[in-house]
Structure 1
């Protein structure tokens, strides 16, 4: 599984997104994880369960039910339309050169 750059990873022990400061997993990371798992819900839940276990030990002011919903509850729900993919998975961001301005040959018009 190719992962995205870790721009939307968790800041620990507070478990907020290092890029957007939303509670982690943030909407962007959820979108990325859905794409990475390609509909494989068991793989997504397994992946996030490891984070949930750590978060339960590090976030003292949240209930187990709240953390479970935050980390796993969204997995089977429809995607969040506000989530934005900022970067493609672990590929270099490519810049596209602007198209050259072409002038028609003499005597021709476009």
Structure 2
């Protein structure tokens, strides 16, 4: 199974293929590799999507997933869920995510 990240409508529409590394609920583990979701494979795919210019879509997906996980797993503290869903995003990736610019246009 594969999917694509949503992309802006208009010129330069971006389609980023995704693997089958989707979360299972209510545990929020990857259904393929059983690691906490987003697993390393999905993190790499999200990074590709961010670099393709659809970082704001990735941000919305992660935020909504974090919200659902907090309802599914009230036994897990907010700090642990934050680390699971957002802890892998470093400052550079975050900047590219919210800027919505492809990596090739980001100045060093």
TM-score (norm 1): 0.61
- Aligned partner of 1:54 in structure 2 is 68
Task: Say whether the 8 Å CA contact 2:26–2:72 is kept in structure 1.
Answer: yes
In the alignment, which of 45, 50, 56 is matched to residue 37 of structure 1? 50
Which consecutive segments of 4 or more residues in structure 1 shift more than 4 A? 39-42
Task: Say whether the 8 Å CA contact 2:16–2:48 is kept in structure 1.
Answer: no
> Alignment length, in residue pairs?
79
In 2, distance between residues paired with 1:67 and 1:49?
Answer: 11
In 2, distance between residues paired with 1:30 and 1:4?
Answer: 13
- Please state which structure has a larger fraction of its residues in helix: 2
Which runs of no fewer than 5 residues in structure 1 stay unpaired? 80-110
Q: Larger radius of gyration, structure 1 or 2?
A: 1
In the alignment, which of 84, 94, 108 is matched to residue 70 of structure 1? 84
- Aligned partner of 1:11 in structure 2 is 24
TM-score (norm 2): 0.62
Which runs of no fewer than 5 residues in structure 2 stay unpaired? 1-6, 8-14, 94-108
